[in-house]
Chain A
Amino acid sequence: CLLAGSRLLKGYRGGHVVIRFALGGCTNRPFFRIVAAHSKRARDGKYLEQLGCLDPLPNVYGEKVAGLNLERLRYWLGCGAQLSRPAEKLLGLAGFLPLHPMTVTGAERLRRRRAAPSAVDSP
């Protein structure tokens, strides 16, 4: 069924390989797959390779389980793949890449927001 206009054998003008999250799972139960795909593809569509997974809901032990196939990740990064921002943040948390600056900025902003109401309330 590989016709000229088929969705499977698509050729794009422009576009690049990205490593991003593909959402799966059921209602009120998300599950992300860390995936290397063309940037023009649908978020959950055909990908080049699955490089891992992330379960955003904590398990019985209060952990969010994530798996990363570091060898293949290194291959795709060597091939020139881009990363989406959440993927960069996750890899920064994992220690594979240095911490994303927005993670640091986000932490600062949160701390300031938490400190601010108490400063506003007191006088």
Chain B
Amino acid sequence: EGKTAKPSFTDEAVQNLLYKMTGLNLQKVFRPVKMELKPPKYKLMTEAQLEEATRKAIEEAKEKLAMPPVLKERVPIDDVLAEDKFLEGTESTKYVFTDLTYSVPHRERFIVVRETNGVLRKATWEERDRMIQIFFPKEGRRVIPPVVFKDENLVTVFQQDRHEDILNRCIAQFEPDSPDYIRVHHRTYDDIEKHGKYDLLRSTRHFGGMVWYLVNRKKADGLLIDMIQRDLLGDATSLITLYHMLHPECPSAKEAKERNLQGVDLIKVFAKTESQKEGYIQLALQAYEEAMAASTAS
């Protein structure tokens, strides 16, 4: 049963596919970002130097496109260390004690709360995050999570097409396994899928996470159509390969394995058996083939 174990986000094959689908648009990755104003620097380079510079830029872009982790939601902490019921009524507020030892990793830090009823318990995850941010501040993170991450305000953000910014801010603010992080990411991906704005995330580090989410929930049809319309057939085939890796018992996966299909045939089989938007996929494929025929003819 080892072979049929479900592949995880961190598997090499999965990561390769997601990296290929993310694309590498250097103009988008290195677009001007709001920073301190400096006069521009111009360099005069030969062809060879320009190639060298482009190569280095591609290396840097690969580092920038490293995907943030996708983890399961963390289990709430619920541990009582001591019960001293006779202390009830002495204090009016609770005390939060944080261990400030520098060499201890944040996950293993002792943070305890002595309640007003005398119970000494471990702090909840939210309290932990707040205390660690107070004593060991991290850049880009606020002590109290900003109001923008509430659902009613996320709607405004999505209307302004600023999905990438809010996702970057979410990564800076929350831990990857916190329920808020997962909720914001899922809302963003749902909104992108509803309006078909896949290109907003295309050359960013969030694209892999989005594809993983959509394929796990079998909502990848819109993305497939978008890829075909932008003539990204390679990405379309990698998307379907990923789908087959994650859902090996579905009919299109079995058929693909039997007949060992490649390229456009894979998409056609997938459209016929699995997808909900079969008509749209057929139309998009037709348009693509006509465009190919026209370009080869002319």
Listed in ascending order, the chain A residues whose CB lies under 8 Å from chain B are: 52, 58, 60-72, 93-95, 99, 103-104, 106-108, 110-111, 114
A94, B86: Cβ atoms under 8 Å? no
Set A67, A94, A95: member contacting B135, Cβ < 8 A: A67
Interchain Cβ contacts within 8 Å, total number: 72
Set A61, A70, A93: member contacting B95, Cβ < 8 A: A93
B114, A94: Cβ atoms under 8 Å? yes
Question: Which residues of the other chain, B, contact A71 by a CB distance below 8 angstroms?
Answer: 101, 103
B101, A106: Cβ atoms under 8 Å? no
Task: From known contacts A65-B134, A67-B135, A69-B100, infer whether A108 and B86 are also in contact, taking CB-CB under 8 Å.
Answer: yes
- B105 in contact (CB, < 8 A): no
Task: From known contacts A95-B81, A110-B89, infer whether A64 and B95 are also in contact, taking CB-CB under 8 Å.
Answer: yes
Q: Which residue of A lies closest to B81 (CB)?
A: A95
A110, B90: Cβ atoms under 8 Å? yes
Name 10 extra pairs, CB < 8 A, besides A67-B99, A107-B90. A60-B144, A64-B94, A65-B131, A67-B135, A68-B100, A69-B101, A70-B110, A72-B101, A93-B114, A99-B84
B87, A107: Cβ atoms under 8 Å? yes
CA distance A3 to B82 in the complex (A): 52
Task: From known contacts A94-B114, A99-B84, infer whether A70 and B93 are also in contact, taking CB-CB under 8 Å.
Answer: no
Q: Which residue of A lies closest to B118 (CB)?
A: A107
Q: How far is the CB of A105 from chain B (nearest CB, A)?
A: 10
Set B90, B94, B110: member contacting A106, Cβ < 8 A: B90
B235-249 interface code vs A (CB 8 A; 1 in, 0 out): 000000000000000
Listed in ascending order, the chain B residues whose CB lies under 8 Å from chain A are: 81-82, 84, 86-90, 93-103, 110, 112-114, 120, 127, 130-131, 134-135, 144
Q: Which residue of A lies closest to B144 (CB)?
A: A60
Set B84, B96, B101, B120: member contacting A63, Cβ < 8 A: B96
Q: Is the interface of B mostly helix, strand, loop or mixed?
A: mixed
A68, B97: Cβ atoms under 8 Å? yes
Set A70, A99, A104, A114: member contacting B101, Cβ < 8 A: A70
CA distance A94 to B122 in the complex (A): 11
Question: Which residues of the other chain, B, contact A114 by a CB distance below 8 angstroms?
Answer: 89
